[in-house]
Amino acid sequence: MRILLLDKNHPLITEQLTAKKFILEEDFTSSYDEVCRKIENYDGVIIRSRIPLDKNFLEKAKNLKFIARVGAGMENIDIPVAEKLGIQLINSPEGNRDSVAEHVVGMLLVLMNRLFIASQEVKNGIWLREENRGDELLGKTVGLIGYGNMGKATAKRLSGFGCKVVFYDILPGLSDEFAEQVSLEELKERAEVISLHIPLTEQTHYIVNGAFIDGMKHNFYFVNTARGKNVETKSLVGALKSGKVKGACLDVLEYEKPSFENLEIENEDLKYLLESEKTIVTPHIAGWTVQSKEKLAQVIVDKIVAGFA
């Protein structure tokens, strides 16, 4: 089988698949149109986010048997078309779930204890104690929306901080020792922290909007390590200004490019998020650790070998 690699990943992908007699070719620079012109020559493609695999692309990929996404999200693939064409879809959320979970906890600790702010103040000769009084995770009810690989790993860590973790998911029967499944309405009634762990779909686009925020019983902290467009930014900014959202930890932004490599829109809402003391903003790196790079690649290799070797 001939496999085209469209993004740089851990070298173990090439090493291990080559050892299994797959033929791998790398192309990290060609444009969408250039790749479309040659994709019919390949049986498989391994991607991250550089090129969208839309209907036009997939219909030109006449011999494609699988698409392997090194990561969790599949929104840059036209899934209905791929399934109609009999193309198997592979992803690797198992590979970066631990990285995401640690990032969630890390951002919350930094935000709620004003660690970055206090550190910068001391470095600038400012010594304030009462103004930097923190807020503990212990005893808080955390509401997770989505309870797949990322949600479960996050719940496991938060339970160690003495949090009560509840979650909402469209699939039933997912409660475990770390979290209790509840309805979305009950989650909004109980949660003091909300963290998103969902894909981007028509149903989850702007799932956190003005109505969602207004429906929360408590003022709350908000975390998003899922997808930027899960959140209506203008509503989040309004809630931060009013105090309904006490603080926000954002690893993803509505204004990211589809490749996640940078921002494509700048406006007053983004300016507020970047300047506010109520926010922690990171550049889509929650799943981006030394360990996750290798684990993501290994999961992909194992699934390709299991299905096609």
Grade residue 162 by pLDDT with cuts at 50, 70 and 90.
Answer: very high
Domain residue spans of the chain: 2-91, 96-281
Q: What angle do CA 175, 104, 97 make, to 5 degrees?
A: 60
Q: With beta carbons less than 8 A apart as the criterion, state whether 127 and 121 touch.
A: yes
């590979």: which residue's tokens? 95
Could you read off the pLDDT of 37-57 as tens digits, one per residue?
999 999 999 999 899 999 999
Reply yes or no on whether 227 is catalytic. yes
Reply yes or no on whether 103 is catalytic. no
- Identify the three-state secondary structure at position 299: helix
- pLDDT for 260 equals 83
User: CATH says 2-91 is which class?
Assistant: alpha beta
Over residues 9-15, mean pLDDT: 96
Query: Count of alpha carbons within 13 Å of 261, Cβ hemisphere only?
Result: 6
Q: With beta carbons less than 8 A apart as the criterion, state whether 51 and 6 touch.
A: yes
Catalytic residue among 256, 266, 268, 277: 256
Q: Give the amino acid at 16.
A: Q
Reply yes or no on whether 277 is catalytic. no
What is the C-alpha separation between 40 and 38, in angstroms, rounded? 6
Kindly tell me if the per-residue pLDDT of 266 is higher than 90: no
- Quick one: what percent of the chain has pLDDT higher than 90? 96
Helix, strand, coil percent values for the chain (each to nearest 5) = 40, 20, 40
Catalytic residue among 50, 227, 232, 254: 227
Taking the CA atoms of the chain, what radius of gyration do you get in angstroms?
A: 21
- Identify the three-state secondary structure at position 47: strand
Over residues 90-98, mean pLDDT: 96
The contacts of residue 301 (CB under 8 Å, 6+ apart) are 12, 13, 16, 17
- Reported in sequence order, the residue ranges of the chain that DSSP labels E, i.e. its strands, are 2-5, 23-26, 44-47, 66-69, 88-91, 141-145, 164-168, 180-181, 193-196, 220-224, 245-250, 279-281
pTM: 0.93
Q: Give the amino acid at 176.
A: D
Could you read off the pLDDT of 279-303 as tens digits, one per residue?
999 999 999 999 999 999 999 999 9
- Identify the three-state secondary structure at position 268: helix
Q: With beta carbons less than 8 A apart as the criterion, state whether 107 and 249 touch.
A: yes
DSSP 39: G
DSSP 277: T
């989040």: which residue's tokens? 236
Grade residue 22 by pLDDT with cuts at 50, 70 and 90.
Answer: very high
What is the C-alpha separation between 262 and 283, in angstroms, rounded? 8
Residue from 132, 36, 103 nearest 292 by CA? 103
Q: With beta carbons less than 8 A apart as the criterion, state whether 257 and 48 touch.
A: no
Could you read off the pLDDT of 194-218 as tens digits, one per residue?
999 999 999 999 999 999 999 999 9
CATH 3.40.50.300 fits 96-281, yes or no: no
Going by their DSSP bridges, the two strands 193-196 and 220-224 should be labelled as parallel
